[in-house]
Amino acid sequence: MAAEDGSGGTGGTLVYALIGKRTDVLAEHMEPSTNIQVSTVARVLLQRISDEDQRKTYAYDDKYLFHCIVEGGICFFVLSRDDCSVTLVNKFLDDVKREFNRQYTRDEQQNAHAFQFNMEFGRVLKERMQFFNTDSNADRDDKILGVQRKVDDTQRVMVENIDKLFERGELIDTLVDKTDHLEQTAFKFEKSANELKKAMWCKRVKSWFLFTFVLLIVLFFVAAFVCGGLTFDKCKK
Q: Is residue 211 part of a domain?
A: no
Q: Which amino acid is at 173?
A: D
- 189 within domain boundaries: no
Domain count, the chain: 1
Q: Within a domain: residue 45?
A: yes
Per-residue pLDDT at 15 exceeds 90 = yes
Q: Is residue 229 part of a domain?
A: no
Task: Give domain status of residue 109, yes or no.
Answer: yes
List pLDDT tens digits, range 146-185.
555 444 444 444 566 665 655 544 445 555 555 566 666 6
Instruction: Domain of residue 118: give its range.
Output: 14-165
- Answer yes or no: is 104 within a domain: yes
| Predicted confidence band of residue 134 (pLDDT cuts 50, 70, 90) | confident
Among 34, 54, 53, 46, smallest CA distance to 115 is for 46
CATH code of the domain containing 140: 3.30.450.50
pLDDT category, 83, cuts 50, 70, 90? confident
Q: Considering the domain boundaries, does residue 146 fall inside one?
A: yes
Q: How far apart, in whole angstroms, are the C-alpha atoms of residue 172 and residue 190? A: 27
- Calpha distance 200→212 (Å, rounded): 18
pLDDT at position 158 is 58
